[in-house]
Amino acid sequence: MTTTRRQFCTLMASLAAGTCLSEAAAAQAVFPERPMRLLVPYAAGGGTDAIARLVAQGVGERLGQSLVVENNGSAGGNLATAQAASSPADGYTVLMANQGPMVVNPHLFKNVRVDPLSAFDPLTLISAAPLVVVVAAGSPHKSLAELVGQAQKNPGKLTYGSAGNGSASHLATVLLAQTAQFNAVHVPYRGAGPALTDLLAGNSDFMVTTVPSVLGLIEGGKVRALAVTGRARAKLFPEVPSVAESGWPNYEATAWYGFVVPKGTPKQVAARLRNATVETINSALIRERLQNEGAGPIGNAPEEFAAMMEAESRRWAGIIREARLAIN
């Protein structure tokens, strides 16, 4: 049978395409070939950083390459988010995603240039946990009611630190102030660690923060826990009431953590990262560590994580509008 020129060209094109596809598949099959990086949009020492490092170690061990944590808490985490969004979509850059950078900052900051919900592909929600309202051990406030009462009597006199503008600790306090009807001055930091240092030094009056960031200080008697922000009491602090049972039954706030990658990351690569993450958080050791820090493993599907973030974005947009918050 005679092969025409057109048939020959078609055959060669098909072979070339097949070769390219095979090479691409092979490249994805051996992922990762070098260390990866996990961008954390907060300073080292806070709750987000603690969970990031815990999970990163397990993921790296399962993939055979290190997942190196890089902290950058500048601009409420917006710089790290933009850096991750502009990175190659090859699986070698992962972003630790939570409320602030993903669903709060686009409504809070006027100069956010990246839409996190469209700039990233979700991998999975790692965990969620309540926060805790704390004061320094020497504080005169022995209960949340006392603290709120003092704030109500002295509008704008009390100060509170947070892990940064738009962080879970910031917005949980904004929601508390709305719910309990008081005014206090916000002092943002580049992570929970620096904020807690100033709380201990007496430079702020109280803080709502993640459990991992403050657990050691509570156990060491350096800070006093007044309330937890979940609906029910936390297993770690059975003697500490929730905000809801302290007099504000409609209040609830949690901190959540997940992994996302730049939009367009190959599905096979994203799947390897997600599978390693889910295996890590469901391992006996990590599950216990998460539970000991007031959290628990989730590991949901990318579609579920995406839907959850969209719902969270709508929720916090309304809270921010009501509080009339805006940051240049």
Q: How would residue 48 be classed by pLDDT, with cut points 50, 70 and 90? A: confident
> Do 165 and 136 form a contact (C-beta atoms < 8 A)?
no
Q: How would residue 17 be classed by pLDDT, with cut points 50, 70 and 90? A: low
The pLDDT of residue 217 is above 90: yes
Structure tokens at 268: 């096979």
Q: What is the mean pLDDT of the chain?
A: 90
Among 256, 255, 37, smallest CA distance to 125 is for 256
Q: Tens of pLDDT along 52-61?
A: 999 999 999 9
Q: Give the pLDDT confidence score for residue 22 in this predicted structure.
A: 45
Domains in the chain with CATH codes = 34-128+256-323 (3.40.190.150), 130-246 (3.40.190.10)
The pLDDT of residue 35 is above 70: yes
Q: Which residue in this structure is represented by tokens 């690569």?
A: 269
Strands 206-210 and 120-136: antiparallel
Beta bridge partners of 216: none
Query: What's the pTM value of the predicted model, to 2 decimals?
Result: 0.82
Among 160, 187, 125, 164, smallest CA distance to 46 is for 164
More confident residue, 169 or 27: 169
Q: Tens of pLDDT along 156-192?
A: 999 999 998 888 899 999 999 999 999 999 999 988 9
C-alpha to C-alpha distance for 97 and 242, rounded to whole angstroms: 26
Backbone angles phi, psi at 91, to 5 degrees: 90, -5
The pLDDT of residue 16 is above 70: no
Q: Give the pLDDT confidence score for residue 50 in this predicted structure.
A: 87
> Do 257 and 48 form a contact (C-beta atoms < 8 A)?
yes
More confident residue, 166 or 264: 264
Q: Give the pLDDT confidence score for residue 71 in this predicted structure.
A: 96
Q: Give the pLDDT confidence score for residue 12 in this predicted structure.
A: 54
C-alpha to C-alpha distance for 75 and 80, rounded to whole angstroms: 9
The pLDDT of residue 27 is above 60: no
